[in-house]
Amino acid sequence: MDLKMKLDKKSLIQIVILVVLIAGGAGAYLMQQDGGLDFISGLFESEPATIRAPAADKKLAPGPTAPSAAPARGVSEIPAAPAKGQIHGKPFAVENSDIESGVLTLRLGKDVTADLEVKVLLPGTPWETPAGKKYKVTEAGGAGIPQVMLAWKENGQTTPTEQKFTDKYTMALEFGQEKDKKLPGKILLNLPDETKSNVAGTFEADIHGFRIVDGKPDLSADSVDTLQYLALHELLKDDPNKSLEVLSFRDGRYAQSESATNNMNGYIEAEYRVGPNSPSVQRYQFEKQSGTWKVVRTLNGNQLDEARPLQTPGAKDSPSKILTYLAAKKLEADVQKKHPGKNIYQPEFMSRHSEKFKIGVCEATYKLDTSGDPVKIAYLFRLQPGGWKFERALGKKEKVNFDTGRIDKR
């Protein structure tokens, strides 16, 4: 199978697909799996994987192995208390932790950019959860050794400073067995930086991201990589052997619905080429049904996700959501009428409204070519007894004055 990937960022799903689908590499890889070539059909089953600890003799994909198969020296010395220490001279205590794509992250602070953070980049296949694995690192570096990254914020700093270690540190790291998408562990880490940063104790990491469990994709994982995998599966389902070149995945996202009674939903756009043909665009809408992500609708390049949501906005939804939906429907119809056959790229919508003056506006920005100039248009809406209604497009020199409810000249 001729599958090429040309993306700016090497994502996890690309690694999976390169391993699983490229003819030469996949053949060599699959022959090492229990069940031989049945492994590839198992990967594309839509049923969620069964979560259980990997068998002790289970073969893994080629690549770096864990540094130690035997119990790590010093593990017995790890305190049974929650992990803590000091990072860059500042007291550190693990307030939350997670593991995703082969990276264990221990954080002080609840935000994405934590005040203090320790990352351990584990060797091996990044889409496998390291349940039951143990790592021992002496001062010597080398292939197959975990890498450690520290991150901290200086006073008044919003972007963390980072420092990476590939050798001259010691670490004992041991993982327990997975339960309820959590992975317990304990760590004893001593680093050679100026302040001799260190962490010791126990933690429980939340498991995130796309992964392979028992040879099958875990389609319950909330991850853009899961959506990429499903989109690629959809592209290949009619002919797994076609020469497919994926040019890019764009705008991958997932979110909980505003209504607690609706399922999570997601979206991604794929640009691809089959053989020597011109590039095509396909958009996918996803829904998490009974805990498993599924493709529920495909859209063409001239159709907008915002104009065709899985749940049409109703009176109880926010005005912003309703105005975006109405503007997207109008934009989609206008482009299809004025530019038949043209795709709509990089759409963005920004809305404002005043219930006092019963007036709203939604500004749309889009492109008709990925390398073209952005086009801007603003749609005017009025709040009527039956809800928000489209009135007209604003002129280029018109704007809504939300203090007075009038339309002014720029």
Which of 70-84, 195-209, 313-327, 348-362 has the least mean pLDDT?
Answer: 70-84
Mean pLDDT over each residue of the chain, to the nearest integer: 82
Q: Can you tell me the mean pLDDT for 145-150? A: 93
On the question of pLDDT at 12 being above 60, the answer is no
Q: Give the tens place of pLDDT for each residue, 303-330.
A: 999 999 999 998 889 999 999 999 999 9
Confidence of residue 111 (pLDDT cuts 50, 70, 90): low
Q: What percent of the chain has pLDDT over 70?
A: 80
Confidence of residue 27 (pLDDT cuts 50, 70, 90): very low
Domains of the chain, by residue range, sit at 3-49+215-300, 75-207, 319-409
Closest CA to 242 of 277, 215, 216: 277
On the question of pLDDT at 88 being above 50, the answer is yes
Is residue 185 within 8 A of residue 205, CB to CB? The reply is yes
Closest CA to 34 of 214, 240, 211: 214
Closest CA to 6 of 279, 405, 352: 279
Query: Given 3.30.70, 1.20.120, 1.10.3860, 3.10.450, which CATH number is that of 319-409?
Result: 3.10.450
